[in-house]
Amino acid sequence: MTIVEIKNLTFTYKGNDEPSLLDINVEIREGEFVLITGPSGCGKSTFCRLLNGLIPHFYSGELKGEVRVLGMDVRKTPTYELARYVGMVFQDPENQLFLSSVEKEIAFGLENLGLPPSEIRERVEQVIAYMGLENLRDKAPFELSGGQQQKVAIASVLAMQPKILVLDEPTANLDPYSSLELLDIVTRLNREEKITVILVEHRLEALLDKVSRLILMDKGRIVLDEHPREAVLNPKIKIVGVPKVIEVYERLKKIGYNFNNPPLSPEDLSNMVHEMVDLHGRHSRRS
C-alpha cells in the first residue's frame, strides 16, 4: 500500500526567490525504511515538514503539486489529524520536551487525543517497557542526557501509535554510542512493529544494511532513489561521500577480486574478505 505520495511538488518558502524543493516525485510504500541524505541546505528538513503538514500549515510559501499521506491531502488536513499517523522526531529533543516528568511527556499527546485514562495508562506503560525507560519515568526531561531525551521524544510519538515515523537527523547532537543505540531502536521499530520509517541521516555506514531505500537530495531535487546496494555504486553518491566499505570494495575490485554484491556494513566487508582469504587458501593448497 502506498503510504506517502508526492507528485510534481515544488515548494518555495515565503520571502525566498528560489524553491527549496523542486519537482519532487516520490511514492513510499507501507513498511519501507527510507534513508534520506544530502548536503546541508538541500531540502531534507523541508521534505520532512511536508509529511506532517508543518508545510503548508506552519511554514507559509508557494506549494505546487500534490502531497498525500495515507490518502490525505496535507493541504486540506489539519496538523492535529496528521499527527495521529505521522510521528516527528527532530534534531534537538529539548525543543520537543517541556513537561515535568517522562511519564507525563509520553501521556501528553494521548491526553490531547481525549483517550480514556485507562487506555492512556496502558499505552504509556507499553511504551516505557518497549523503550527501556523504567528508571527514568519520574525524571524531568531536562535532567536527562541527549540520548535519553531523544528516546523520550521517540517514546512520546510512539504512544500515538503512528503509521509513519519521520526522524530529521535525530543523532546530530548525540555521542557515537547513543547514536548507534538510537538507530538500533529505529530499525527495531521498522522491523518488529512494521512502522514506515523516513530517516534523515548523514551516518550512511551505520544504516546501509538496514534501510530498504536510499534517497539522495541535492539543491532541492531528488537525484538518486535506489536500494542501497545500487545507490552506493552510483557515482552520484560522491555528493555525500563514498562510504569507507565501498572504497575498500572498489580497491579490491581494481586488483582483481570480484564479489557478487557490494558490502553494506563493516561486517559484510569482513565476511567477504574472510571468504576471499579462505578461497585463496584453498587455491594455493591445490596448486
Of 62 and 250, nearer to ligand ADP (C-beta) is: 62
Of 45 and 190, nearer to ligand ADP (C-beta) is: 45
CA–CA gap between residue 8 and residue 22 (Å, rounded): 8
Cβ 41 to ligand ADP, closest distance in Å?
Answer: 4
By the 8 A CB rule, do 34 and 212 touch? yes
Phi, psi of 72 (to 5 degrees): -90, 135
Contacts of 176 (CB under 8 A, 6+ apart): none
Kindly state whether residue 60 participates in binding ligand ADP, applying the rule CB under 6 A: no
**Start-to-end CA span in the chain (Å):** 55
Contacting residue, 2, 7, 8, 16, with ligand ADP by CB under 6 A? 16
Of 148 and 171, nearer to ligand ADP (C-beta) is: 171
CA–CA gap between residue 215 and residue 90 (Å, rounded): 19
Contacting residue, 20, 156, 178, 190, with ligand ADP by CB under 6 A? 20
Of 38 and 141, nearer to ligand ADP (C-beta) is: 38
How big is the site for ligand ADP, counted in residues (CB under 6 A)?
12
What kind and span of H or E run contains 102? helix 102-113
Cβ 19 to ligand ADP, closest distance in Å?
Answer: 9
Cβ 214 to ligand ADP, closest distance in Å?
Answer: 15
Contacting residue, 40, 95, 118, 260, with ligand ADP by CB under 6 A? 40
Contacting residue, 25, 27, 29, 41, with ligand ADP by CB under 6 A? 41
Of 41 and 78, nearer to ligand ADP (C-beta) is: 41
Burial of residue 33 (number of CB atoms within 10 Å: 0-12, 13-18, 19+):
buried
CB atoms within 10 A of CB 134: 10
User: Which region among 34-42, 157-165, 187-195, 251-259 touches ligand ADP (by CB under 6 A)?
Assistant: 34-42
Task: List the x/- string, 145-174, binding to ligand ADP by CB under 6 A.
Answer: ------------------------------
CA–CA gap between residue 87 and residue 107 (Å, rounded): 14
CA–CA gap between residue 214 and residue 224 (Å, rounded): 8
Q: Which one, of 28, 33, 31, 23, lies nearest residue 68 by Cα?
A: 28
The one-letter code for the residue type at 7 is: K
Computed over its alpha carbons, how large is the radius of gyration of the chain?
Answer: 21
Contacting residue, 5, 10, 13, 108, with ligand ADP by CB under 6 A? 13
Kindly state whether residue 44 participates in binding ligand ADP, applying the rule CB under 6 A: yes
User: Which region among 38-46, 81-89, 95-103, 177-185 touches ligand ADP (by CB under 6 A)?
Assistant: 38-46
Phi, psi of 33 (to 5 degrees): -125, 100
111's grid cell: 491526553
Cβ 95 to ligand ADP, closest distance in Å?
Answer: 15
Binding site for ligand ADP (CB under 6 A): 13, 16, 20, 38, 40-46, 59
